[in-house]
Structure formats: structure tokens, C-alpha cells
Amino acid sequence: MAMRAQLEGKGKGNGKGFPIRAVIGLFVALSVLAFFLSNNTFFRSSEQVYQQTINPPNAKRPDRQTSNLQHSKTQPIPITLSCESPTATVCERRSTPMPTPHLTTSYNSPSCPEYFRWIHDDLRHWKSTGITREMIENAHEYATFRLVVLDGRVYVQEYYGKFMTRNVFSLWGILQLVNRYPGRVPDLDLMFNCMDQPAVKSFEYNSSTPPPVFHYCNNDKTWDILFPDWSFWGWPEINIKPWASLLKEMKEANEEMKWIDREPYAFWRGNPHMGGNRFDLLKCNVTNEHDWNARIYAQDWKQEEKQGFRHSDLARQCDNRYRIYVDGLAWSVSQKYIMACNSPTLFLDTPWIEFFQRGLVPGHHYWPIRGNNKCRAIKVAVDFGNGHHAEAQAMGKASSDFFQEEVKMDFVYDYMLHLLTEYAKLLRFKPSVPENATELCLESIACRAPTNVKKFLLESMEKTTHEAEPCSLPPPFTTEELQQMQERKANAAKEVAVLEEEANKF
Ligand SMILES: *[C@@H]1O[C@H](CO)[C@@H](O)[C@H](O)[C@H]1NC(C)=O
Ligand SMILES: *[C@@H]1O[C@H](CO)[C@@H](O)[C@H](O)[C@H]1NC(C)=O
Ligand SMILES: *[C@@H]1O[C@H](CO)[C@@H](O)[C@H](O)[C@H]1NC(C)=O
């Protein structure tokens, strides 16, 4: 596939076991399936517990830009991009951005979604030591770029993979954040890894402080700091639109296609050549001999591209009652599209998580599929849902609502802002522009971009400053809360296991 070709050979080869496979793994699968288990009172009550701990009166506000101006309702300031001048790709502008005038005056913005609390956890390794310039420079070998924000201006030094759209769209996303909240993103210096797999292996840092590296996913053996992936701003090679546009389209499509009128199967479509789990899943497809209630399709992206992406419109892939999610070589960007379908997701167990993942509750937002007999587990899930419509629809709605409400772009930006603010508090030095870095601005990224890339850049560009306060960051989880979450997970798995066992009797 085009994207593959583009990425191949861009791996770092640093020989230190950084298994970066330049693969774009993650593809969008589309998939499907289903069902339920909602209304679990256990889940409910622990959610209530969390609610009470949010928003403590002393919640700390980011307070760098200090103006104490009382704010009368400020008008959003338009953000414009012009590629007309011949020097348009040079970032010549502006003085320091105007700080939003009411930053420190409001302590009562609504709390951010629960999953924001993991920000504290992701940064825990540097809590006592802080982050020095040396630590950042030592993280060089894991990074595709280094990014510095200084007085509201953004500088980047790209190490490799310069033309991968994931680099471009990740940088674009950060730039949108800076423009959206003028004067609000603190001075900082960070290393970012744009590859598929996380880089910072915990076993290499048993007794030393790990290098701080930002990345899109991690697992329990890696310590990369989670950051939203590029697909929120678009993925032109496979025609995935910016998330804001897609969410809206999906909402409309979901309303048109009632759950009850959907095909009563579990659907998955994607690139099967992305890891063993996907390959295994192919075995669950319907054949003349058996029907596990799964409908599995292989996506050939090359073919799709030729046909103008007619069969991969994500907003139109919600016509089955259940979706299947399966990871790729690491996390899969497909997850959010699959789970926003209003159809319950049969979620094949995965070690990989992305930033929002930690807000999803098994048994409430999705049906966990574990163990070796996945085809049978899928069949049990579909049969159950088809016999319990209310539960199935409640689960489909819970996950759609989660993405529509808690992972909408406003919160994606707020997550980035809070994460970067907390990160910057740990810095033990004053950032400066690295030797070979260049300044980034809208013009320098967008003006010379190829047409298909430019289209998504413009579509995902923030058109005005955001004048409301960001949500307020809730405190870290307590040990007790973490334990409750573990129990919740175990309980959901147990409930599913019981159903599977019962089904086995027949
Ligand atoms: C860290 O600990 C693990 C398990 O105890 C061990 O296998 C590994 O070699 C250690 N790594 C280092 C760098 O000491
Ligand atoms: C799964 O089965 C359907 C129906 O027979 C078929 O159209 C489809 O191509 C199969 N999928 C794969 C990946 O072979
Ligand atoms: C900056 O670029 C020059 C020339 O390519 C190179 O020699 C130097 O090592 C670079 N410095 C840094 C800090 O990367």
C-alpha cells in the first residue's frame, strides 16, 4: 500500500531494541459487533464515587499567563491562513500571542472526563526527579521529532520520517492547540515518537529515570507518555477525514440506520496483514460448514484507493448490529470509528492502549472477548445480544455517547493542553530553541502540502480562538479507585465467561 511503501525503511535502526516497525499498522478496520451487559450496578456505584472526587475546591488551574483581567465575555479571534504571498511558507509573524484575558479568573469550569486523571499517572516517573534538558536529549534516539514551544511559538527539529503524514498531522494538531488557546501552552521542550510502537521499555529502567517520550500508545511494559494520534486531524492516504467531521457524519448515519434494522451479525473490515490477531480473526468468518455470526472482510487499500474509497466510508459501516475490534501491530486507529457506531463492540483483548482507552469500561462500553476460543466467544456475544435487544442497544449507545461526548475535539484539545501543562511543570530548565530547529506555523505546513493533504489540514484547522476555559483537570486516582477499576474489569470478564460456559452446554 502506498503508505506502507512510503514508510518502509524509515525505521530507526538504532540497534537498541527499539522495535519500531515502520508500518502503518493501525489501519482502520471497520468492524463490528456487539453487545451488552450494561446496567451493572457495580459499575454504576463506582462511577458515582469518582464523581465525588472530581473538582475539588483547590483544583489547580494552569496559571502562567497571568492577566487578572476580569473577563467580560471575550469574542473569539479569527485565525486565518493565507498562502498568497510568495514568502508565505516562512513564519514571519507576530509578536507574542495575546493571552486569553480571563485565564485565572474562573475556577468553576466543568470537570474533564475521568480518563484525564491518567495524565498524572503517565507523568509519575518524573515526579520526584523533574525533567532535565539532559534527560530530553538522551531521549533523542527514540524520537522522530523534537518540539519546543517558546512564548507561544512552535519550533520543531525533525529527525526522520519527515514526510510521513503522521508527523505532519501530529505537528499540525499541536499547532492548532497553540492557536486555539493563545498564550496558554507553556514553554516546553519534548521528544515525540511517531512510529507504531512505543519506545521506552520499562525493564531497561529498573533503577533509573526513563527518558520522557511522547507517543500514541503504550502497554504495561512501556512508559511512553500517551498523546492523541494524528488521525484526529485526518489521514489522507486512506481517506480518513478529520475526527470532528466524521463524528458528525457518524451521528447522522447512526440516526438513519436504526439498530434493530441492522444485520444481526458481528462485522469487521480491515487489513488482515497487521499482526496475528487479525489473521486469527479470519477463521471466524462464515463458511459453508459453520457460522459464528461473524462477517469478516479484508480491505485492500490499494484497490480502495483506485476506486475512490467507495467501500471504506466510515460513516457507512455501521449497518451490522455488532462490530469487532481487533488490534494491529499496536493500537489501531480504527477503534474510535468502530466504537462510535451505536452497535456494541466485541472487543478482542489487547495489551495496547491509547489515551482515551482508560475511560472505557468493559461490560458497559464494550463486550470483552478473551481466551483462545474467539470464534465461539463472538457467537455467544451475538446470540446474547440478539436475544436481549435492550441491553445490546444500551451498550452500543454507551460507547457511541462516550466518543461523541467525551472524546470530541474539544476534549482532545483539553487533554493535550492539560498534559503539556503538567509536563511543563516538571521541566527543570528554561527551554530554548534547539540548534537546527525551524519554526512551525500554519503557512509552513499547509501552503506547500499536496492537494489531498491540504484538504484535511484546512478542514481540521481551528478557525477561531477558543474563548471558554478548558475543563478542569481532576486529581490522580487513589489506590482504592485503581483497585475498583481492576475489579470492575475482572467482573465483566467473569460475567462473559459464565455466558460462554452456559452456551457450551448446548
Ligand atoms: C530489570 O529487571 C528485570 C526483572 O527483574 C530483569 O530481567 C532485567 O534484566 C532488569 N534490567 C536491567 C537493565 O537491569
Ligand atoms: C467472509 O465470508 C464472506 C461470505 O462468504 C465473503 O464474502 C468474504 O470475502 C469472506 N472474508 C474473507 C476475509 O475471506
Ligand atoms: C545541526 O546541523 C548540522 C549540519 O547538518 C550538524 O552538523 C549538527 O550536528 C546539527 N546539530 C544538532 C544539535 O543536531
Mean pLDDT, the chain, rounded, equals 83
Protein residue with least CA distance to atom 7, ligand 3: 436
> Which of 195, 198, 254, 250 is CA-nearest to residue 226?
198
| Ligand 2 touching residue 296 (CB < 6 A) | yes
DSSP 183-215: TTSPPEEEEE--SSS---BGGGGSSSPPPP-EE
Q: How many Å apart are CA 365 and CA 339, to the nearest integer?
A: 9
For a pocket test of ligand 2, which of 296, 324, 326 has the largest count of ligand atoms closer than 8 A to its C-beta? 296
Amino acid 73: pLDDT = 59
Contact 489, 362 (CB under 8 A): yes
Place of cell 486469527: 280
Question: What mean pLDDT is predicted for residues 222-244?
Answer: 96
Q: Report which protein residue has its CA nearest ligand 2's atom 8.
A: 297
**Euclidean distance between CA atoms 272 and 280, whole angstroms:** 9
- Using alpha carbons, select from 199, 220, 185, 13 the residue that is nearest to residue 100: 185
Residue 436 alpha carbon, nearest atom of ligand 3? 1
For residues 38-72, one letter each, b for 16 or more C-beta atoms within 10 angstroms of the residue's C-beta and e for the rest, the string is: bebeebeebeeebeebbbeeeeebbebbeeeeeee
Amino acid letter for position 32: V
The pLDDT-based confidence of 94 (bands split at 50, 70, 90) is: low
Sorted by sequence, the CB contacts under 8 Å of residue 85 that are 6+ apart come out as none
CB-ligand 2 contact for 245 (6 Å cutoff)? no
**HSE-CB for 346 with a 13 A CA cutoff:** 34
Res 2 pLDDT > 70: no
Instruction: At 98, list the grid cell.
Output: 495575546
Which ligand number lies closest to the CA of residue 296?
A: 2
pLDDT, one tens digit per residue, over 313-370 is: 777 789 999 999 999 999 999 999 999 999 999 999 999 999 999 999 999 999 999 8
pLDDT band of 410, cuts 50, 70, 90: very high
Rounded CA separation 432/421 (Å): 17
Ordered strands of the 367-369 beta sheet:
294-298, 263-270, 320-325, 346-348, 367-369
- Can you give the pLDDT at residue 20? 32
Between the CA of 289 and the centroid of ligand 2 the distance, in Å, is 13
Average pLDDT over residues 131-139: 97
Q: Got the DSSP string for 143-182?
A: -SEEEEEETTEEEEEE-S-TT-HHHHHHHHHHHHHHHHST
pLDDT of residue 107: 56
- Give CA–CA dist 142/115, Å, rounded: 26
pLDDT value of position 97 = 53
Per-residue pLDDT at 140 exceeds 50? yes
The amino acid at 124: R
Ranking 137-141, 314-318, 378-382 by mean pLDDT, the lowest is 314-318
Distance 482 CA to ligand 3 centre (A): 45
**pLDDT of 105 over the 80 cut:** no
Predicted confidence at residue 358, as pLDDT, reads 95
For residue 284 and ligand 2, the question of a CB distance below 6 A is answered with no
Side chain identity at residue 9, one-letter code = G
Predicted pLDDT of residue 309: 77
Residue pLDDT, tens place only, 31-81: 222 222 222 222 223 333 223 233 333 333 333 333 334 444 578 999 999
Of 304, 189, 132, the C-alpha closest to 235 is: 304
Furthest-apart CA atoms within the chain: distance in Å:
74
Q: Return the pLDDT at 178.
A: 97
* pLDDT given at position 305: 81
Report d(CA 460, CA 446) in Å as an integer: 11
pLDDT, position 301: 80
From 201, 206, 207, give the residue whose CB has the most ligand 1 atoms within 8 Å, as the site to mutate.
206
Range 479-501 average pLDDT: 93
**Residue 459 φ/ψ, nearest 5 degrees:** -65, -35
State if residue 436 touches ligand 3 by the CB under 6 angstroms criterion.
yes
Span 280-293, average pLDDT = 95
Task: State if residue 438 touches ligand 3 by the CB under 6 angstroms criterion.
Answer: no
d(CA 140, CA 445): 23
The closest of 29, 35, 28, 30 to 378, measured between CA atoms, is: 35
Cα 467 to averaged position of ligand 2 atoms, centre (Å): 50
Residue nearest to atom 13 of ligand 3 (CA): 435
Ligand nearest to the CA of 283: 2
pLDDT at 506: 66
Q: If pLDDT is split at 50, 70 and 90, which confidence band does 466 have?
A: very high
- 160 close to 143: Cβ distance less than 8 angstroms: no
Q: Which cell numbers hold the place of 443? A: 503557512
Percent of the chain with pLDDT over 70: 82
The percent of residues above 90 in pLDDT, for the chain, comes to: 70
Q: Residues near 254 by Cβ (< 8 Å), separated by ≥ 6?
A: 318, 340, 341, 342, 400
Ligand 2 centroid to Cα of residue 18, in Å, is: 36
Please name the residue that has the C-alpha cell 494520534.
229
Distance set, CA 124 to CA 112, 128, 130, 151, 294 (Å): 20, 8, 10, 26, 42
CA nearest to 445, candidates 230, 141, 209 = 230
pLDDT at 93: 61
Phi, psi of 3 (to 5 degrees): -65, -35
Each residue's pLDDT tens digit, 158-176: 998 776 889 999 999 999 9
**CA–CA dist 323, 294 (Å, integer):** 9
In the chain, what are the domains?
3-58+243-407 (3.40.50), 114-237+409-481 (no CATH)
